[in-house]
Each structure stands twice: as C-alpha cells, then as structure tokens.
Chain A
Amino acid sequence: MIFSYERTVLKNSDNITRKTSIKSVFGMHARPASGIAQIAGSAQGGVWLHANSKKVDATSILDILLLSATRGTEVLVEIEDQKDMEILDKIIDFFEIGFGEATE
C-alpha cells in the first residue's frame, strides 16, 4: 500500500503542468478538440486537461468536449512524461492562438 502511495506521489511530482485559458470566443468545440487530440495523440505518456474541476484525457475529443469549457475558462495542461515537453508546448501554443479562431 505504502509503496504504491509513494509511487503515485513520485509519479505526480514528475508531472509537468502549465496553465492557459480558452481565448476563442467559440469556446471548446469539435474542431479545436480534435486538434488537441491529434497533438496529444503522439505523446509518450499521458496528457491531461484540467478545467471546471474536471480532469480529462487530452487524446479524446469526446473527453475534451465534456469539459464544457467556454471562453475565459482556465485550463491546466498536464503531461506525465518529460519527453513530451514539445507536445505540451504545442498544446499551449494552440490555446494561446485561440485555436486560430476569433478571440475578441
């Protein structure tokens, strides 16, 4: 028990998170969700999105949609594997450019 507990803690402490928010006025809909899922799909480890006190798998469009995130929602992007830094950057960039949609 203790071992697995420590392991969980260790694993979590290795995880890297970055904060961003939804800039697009259209919020999270199918197109950006599939964009994120495609980027996250090539990760070595797990990629997660946290928002509206939900945690979802960033490689699943349906999961991402379930965040029901609208413009202004804060989103935390989490990766489990340090090798996925580039993927984390890409996802953050995608958020920051407002998914290439209207942001004002």
Chain B
Amino acid sequence: MNQSVSGQITIRGIIGSPGICIGKAYLVDKEGVNLIKRYPISNAQIPNEINRFKQAVSKAKHDYAKIIESIDKTIEDNIDILETHMILFEDKMLYERTIDTISTDKINAEWALRKVAGKAKAMFQQIDDPYLKARVNDIDQVMDKIMIHLVGAQDKKISDINKRVILVAQDISPADASQIQLERIKGFVTDRGGKDSHTSIVAKSLKIPSVLGLGKATMHVKNDDILIVDGSAGLLIINPDEDTLFDYVDRQTRFEAYMAGLERESYLPAITKDGITLNLMANIELVEEIVAAKDHGATDIGLFRTEFLYLDLRRFPTEDELFYKYKELAELMLPHSVTIRTLDINGDKVNPYLSFVEEANPSLGLRAVRFCLENEPVFIAQLKAILRAAAIGNIKLLIPMISCVEEILQVKKVIEKAVKELEKEKKNFNRDIPLGIMIEVPAASIMADHLAEHVDFFSIGTNDLIQYSLAIDRRNPMVAHLYQALNPAVLKMIKMTIDAARKHKIDIVMCGEMAGDPINIPILIGMGLTDLSMNSASIPVVKKIVRNIDSQKAKHSVIKIMEMTTVKEISEYILDEYKDILPFMGGTDPKI
C-alpha cells in the first residue's frame, strides 16, 4: 500500500477482470459481522442461545434456497457451489460443534460459531492441496451468512443498489454475484480471493473491471469514497488526487475509444508496414468459441485445448465422442487449420477435482504427455479421434509438456499403435498430419535444436515456460509480480527455440499469453515469429500493432534488447521506442 500526501491510497491486488472504472464506493460488507461480540451466558440461557443459532442457520438456508430458485440455471458453476454451501450449513463440523461449544464454553452463538469455523478453516489451510485449501472460502461464506442473521444486521443487498457504483466487499460469493445487476455496477474490488478462488471465477464471468485479493480494502474505503479500479494493472486507488483522476479519466476514454476502434478494424489483414504477413490465430477450448474467434479476425485455430470435454464429462470420453467434437471443429474451420493439443491434464488449467494421485507439486508432476504415456488407452483414444478428424479437415497434432527426445519418440510409437488400430478397424483417417510439440519446459527449449529433428513444428507455450524458467508460481500473490515475460532469461529461451526451428526449417508458433500482450509484439516480430496464437479477444489489439510496425526496425530492436540484462531496461526501451504504436493498456503503462 502506498499513501500520498493528498490522501490518495494505492493498493495492489490480483487482476480479476481487465478494464478501468471510476466511481463511488459502495461497501457491501455486512455491518457488525467483523465486530463479533463475545459474552458469557448462564446455564439457563443455553437452550435459548442454541435455539437462536438454529434459527439463524435456518434463515440463512432459506435465503440460499431462494437464490438457488431464482438463479439463471445456465450458470451451472455457481449452482454447484451454492448447493455445496447449502449442505455445509448443517454440516456436523460447523453446526453441531457450534451447538456443543455454546453449551460447554457457555458463550454466545456468534463467538461459538467463529471459534468452530476458525478451527475448521485451520484444518483445511494445513492441507497441501489447492482444492481443499479453497474450501476455506466456502466455510467463510457459510459462516458469514449465518452470522448476518445472528447479529441481526441487515445484509446490504446488492440487488438494492440504485446508482452506478463500485462494489467493495471482503468477498463476493457466487450467491452475491448472482444478484449483481451489471447496469448498476461499474466494477468491484475484494479483500479476499486468489487466482483459484470462486471469486476469481465470478470476476471472469461478470467481465467488469475488478481487482481481487487486496487484503484490507474494506478497512480503507468508506462509502461514497471516489475509487479508481484499474483491472488491467490490478490496482485500486482510493480518493485519487486531481492529477491521478484526470490521468485516469483520460486513460479510460482512450481505452474505450481504442477498444471500439479495434473492433472495427479487426477484419483487416495483419500485415506489417514493410509487408510481412502475420498469421494471428485463436486459442479456444470450446467449439462455440469459433464464432468469437472469427469475429475478432482470427485466421486459424492455433491452439485447441482438449481438456474441457474430459472435465465436463468427469470421465474419459470415448474415441467416438472425441471424434465428433473434433470433426465438427475441423469442418467449421475449413479450409483453415486447427491445431489440436492432446490432453494437458493437471497443472493450473485443471479442475481441482482431478487429482489422480496425491502429488506434492502437481505442476511438476504426472501431467500432460507424461500422464498420457502412462495411461496409453486414454492417449490412443484421443489420437485415433484426431487422426480420424484429420481425414475431414485441416488438422495439426500438438503434444504438450515434452521435456526430452525420448518422450517424442515414445509418442510416435503410440501414434503408430493408434494408426494400426484404425487400419484394423477400417476407419477413415489421415496419418499425414503435422506433428508438433509444445516448448514449455526449459529443457525442451535448450534441446530445441535436437527436438526439431523429430517434429514438424514447435509451439512455444509461454505461460509454463516462464513459470518453469523463473521458478515462479504466478498464482502465489507473494511472488506473482516476478512472473515476467520480458525477463532476459525468458527472451533467450524463446530466441533459442526460434533459431532452432529456423535452422531445421520447421514451423514455429507462439501460443501463450505472451503472444497476446501488446508490449511483447515488437520483440516477437523482431525475432521473426509470424504465427501467433492467442485468446481471440486479444487479436484486434495485436493486429493494430502489427499493422503499424516495421519488421526491420523490430529486428534492430531485438539485437539491442538481447544485450540488456534487466526487465526494467527492456520494458522501458520498448515503451519508449514504440510509444506511438503501443496502445494504452493498463498493465504495460510505464506510469504504473
């Protein structure tokens, strides 16, 4: 936190959803919930106190039941969470132990509940499993809802808000979120919520500027304070001084104008000023996303993540189920290509339910191709489906998490097996499809020169490459700021990979988030990348930069940048050198 002379306070949190909003604060925090009274009760009062607790639980459950009834059934994510909360209200560990504590400790229900919930939370916090750790939030939310009825405080209803405000809350539960009417809420900020929390899911689904995990925002903000929420940079500014306010009003206007302009131009081709054509592709995980990808001007699907069907079905899909999905995708995209990445289960993309064995460190564990090679039938079913779809459309096969040459040789053997099975079953398929690997493990980048001999293309997965190279878990708020794409070590890895691909004349794509971040585009073009795959929403911004860039100038910049040794030096250089063409984007603005 940073407080200026004028009283302006800036707090850094975690990015919830990008964008900028300026407005008045509206604290949804339940008055009284934070100040829990503690007082002793007499033996005679015990039954009464227990009764008061039971009534509070029953009222809280009643509230929940009403919300579940009214909720849009298409937001299934939320329904699941709500139903779990519903059962938690009467869970022994909370309900009966609170009643026990009231009678054994002879204390009031509020304090008993807090004590019991505190113990339960501590037990979950100790477990080294992100799914179980996240249950702490569930316990908190359930406790809060009971507490509201116990202290008799009026829960400020989000649905009662009648002016356009910025919500400030300790946490936004899925139940709260379902009551948010977007025309009344400009943005929101919360004290709690990490990258994996339910709050983060909520933020993403609401798509309004938001910053999470601010720690003590609710303590610093008073109702009607002027706030600036910079969702792109993960900043909350309380009571901004005049200069900051003007600056942000200006940025907000430019941001909105820029975004509007981008959409209009998104159909234009991505050609640099000196005539180099770039292929901007989309990363998707649902067939339904093809429409948005095309709208945003994507040519091909550079990365189709296949985990969704597995997680959705909660079992391994059959070859046919997979085939029909891939076939649909291939047909819709014809004549353009679709790069299908095989199952990349585990790691940060995975549904937390999906832990096959207990792993202390899942992102370094049995994931992606390692998992597939261990579970051959699963892998073969997917490979067969992909090869069959390749007979219909333009499909490329991409294998994630390759870390050594042996793995790619093993994969090829499994592909052979899949081919044999298909031949035996007399199914229509195409085995002559490009085979590529993700370069996302530092070892693969170092060995790129040798790996290139065995495959048709590389796809650089920057999210993992950065995380593994820098040993940074970007979901950990303590170190997330050190997760930097422009770290010179990362740039060297990328350059090495590109050089190896070029030497062996194989194709190279970048499909991580780095490819969609404007500040990186001059470097990527300068390094000679022409195939970039990104979330389709980023395509218009990137396209605009591409259309204004000179690739020769970018090449010279890269030569200079490769000599630089700090992130600061590199980012300042790019921002200065390309200030005319880099748009205002919160996260990359030098003033922040």
Contacts and interface: CB of A to CB of B under 8 A. Distances in A.
B357 A70 contact: yes
Interface string A56-68: 0101111101101
Interface in A1-40: 25-27, 29-31, 34, 37-38
Given A70-B358, A103-B315, A62 B91 contact: yes
Interface stretch (B131-139, B390-398, B544-552): B131-139
B356 interface: yes
Most buried by B among A27, A57, A71: A27
Given A34-B84, A66-B124, A26 B314 contact: yes
B520 interface: no
A60 B316 contact: no
A61 B135 CA distance: 11
A30 B132 CA distance: 9
Contacts of B316: 102, 104
A3 B123 CA distance: 34
A101 interface: yes
A72 B357 contact: yes
Contacts of A30: 84, 135
Interface in A55-87: 57, 59-63, 65-66, 68, 70-72
Contacts of B389: none
Nearest to B354: A26
Given A29-B131, A68-B132, A70-B358, A63 B84 contact: no
A25 to B, nearest CB: 6
Interface in B110-124: 120, 123-124
A61 B31 CA distance: 30
B65 to A, nearest CB: 16
Contact of A57 (B92, B127, B356): B92
B356 A37 contact: no
A67 to B, nearest CB: 10
B307 interface: no
Given A59-B92, A62-B88, A25 B354 contact: yes
Nearest to A72: B357
Contact of A62 (B93, B315, B352): B93
A30 B377 CA distance: 28
Given A62-B120, A68-B129, A102 B315 contact: yes
Interface string B300-339: 0000000000000111100000000000000000000000
Size bracket of the A interface? 20 to 34
Interface of B is mostly: loop
Nearest to A58: B92
A27 B353 contact: yes
B315 A68 contact: no
A71 B314 CA distance: 13
Nearest to A30: B84
A72 B124 CA distance: 22
Nearest to B311: A26
B87 A61 contact: yes
A8 B139 CA distance: 34
A63 B87 contact: no
Contacts of A103: 315
B93 A60 contact: yes
A62 B358 contact: no
Given A59-B92, A101-B314, A102-B314, A65 B356 contact: no
Interface string B433-466: 0000000000000000000000000000000000
Contacts of B378: 104
B326 to A, nearest CB: 20
Contact of A71 (B94, B124, B356, B377): B356
Contacts of B313: 102
Contact of A70 (B87, B91, B355): B355
B88 A29 contact: no
B135 A65 contact: yes
A62 B131 contact: no
A38 B92 CA distance: 11
Nearest to A26: B353
A70 B365 CA distance: 15
Interface of A: 25-27, 29-31, 34, 37-38, 57, 59-63, 65-66, 68, 70-72, 101-104
Given A57-B92, A62-B91, A104-B315, 6 more contacts: A34-B84, A60-B91, A62-B94, A66-B132, A71-B356, A104-B378
27 contacts: A25-B315, A25-B354, A26-B314, A26-B354, A26-B355, A27-B355, A29-B352, A29-B353, A30-B135, A31-B80, A60-B92, A60-B93, A62-B88, A62-B93, A62-B124, A62-B139, A68-B127, A68-B129, A70-B356, A70-B358, A101-B314, A101-B315, A102-B313, A102-B315, A102-B316, A104-B377, A104-B378
